[in-house]
Every structure is written in C-alpha cells, then in structure tokens.
C-alpha cells in the first residue's frame, strides 16, 4: 500500500471511498459552500479549497482522509498539499461528488 506515496496519491472509487469511511476514514469535501449546499456526500466535512491553507490543521493526522470535490481535481490538489504537510493516509475520490451521486451512495440534496 505504500507504493506511490512519493508520487500522486491513490485514487479510490466512490464505493471504495464509502467502505473506507464506514471503517473510520474522514470524508473531506473541498468545494465551496454553495456547491456543498446543493448536494454532498453524507457525513462529509467541508473545508473549502479557498480556505484550505488556513484550515487544514483542523484535520486529524491519525485518521485516513478521503478527499472529495465535484469531479476529483480540486480534491487531488488538496490531498497532495496534505501529504506535503505530513499527512500520511490521504486518498482522492475519483470522479468526486458527481460519481458518488451517480453511484447512488448516501448523499444530502438541497442543503444540510
């Protein structure tokens, strides 16, 4: 599992991301508040990318983090930033919220 730690972080499918969250990982959504309010994965913690550099320390270093955004690009950037800050267990949810919702996984529509 440590292979690839120095390069890009691991991408996981929505189903794998859900499995990891069910086993204790924290789902971190890096979209902006208005995007999050429209629809988000159930249980996701919001830290918008625009605030990430000042708020990332709110995230636990001793827990796996599953990063999510709309399609996977912003969450990959945030995850790589976290890895550079010494966070070891960080994966990116491939396809983001769009794939999560398309796969019918637990989500919240239209606000909190």
| Active site residues per annotation | 69
Closest CA to 64 of 7, 4, 16, 8: 16
72 neighbors 66 (Cβ within 8 angstroms): no
Q: How many CA atoms lie within 13 A of 73 on its CB side?
A: 1
Is the separation of the CB atoms in 28 and 56 below 8 Å?
A: no
């Amino acid at each position: 599992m440590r292979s690839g730690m120095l390069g890009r972080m691991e991408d996981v499918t929505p189903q794998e991301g859900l499995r990891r969250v069910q086993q204790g990982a924290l789902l971190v959504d890096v979209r902006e508040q208005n995007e999050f309010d429209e629809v988000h994965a159930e249980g996701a913690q919001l830290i918008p990318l625009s605030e990430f550099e000042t708020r990332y320390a709110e995230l636990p270093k001793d827990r796996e983090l599953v990063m999510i955004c709309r399609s996977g690009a912003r969450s990959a950037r945030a995850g790589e930033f976290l890895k550079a800050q010494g966070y070891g267990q960080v994966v990116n949810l491939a396809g983001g919220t769009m794939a999560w919702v398309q796969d019918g996984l637990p989500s919240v529509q239209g606000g909190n």
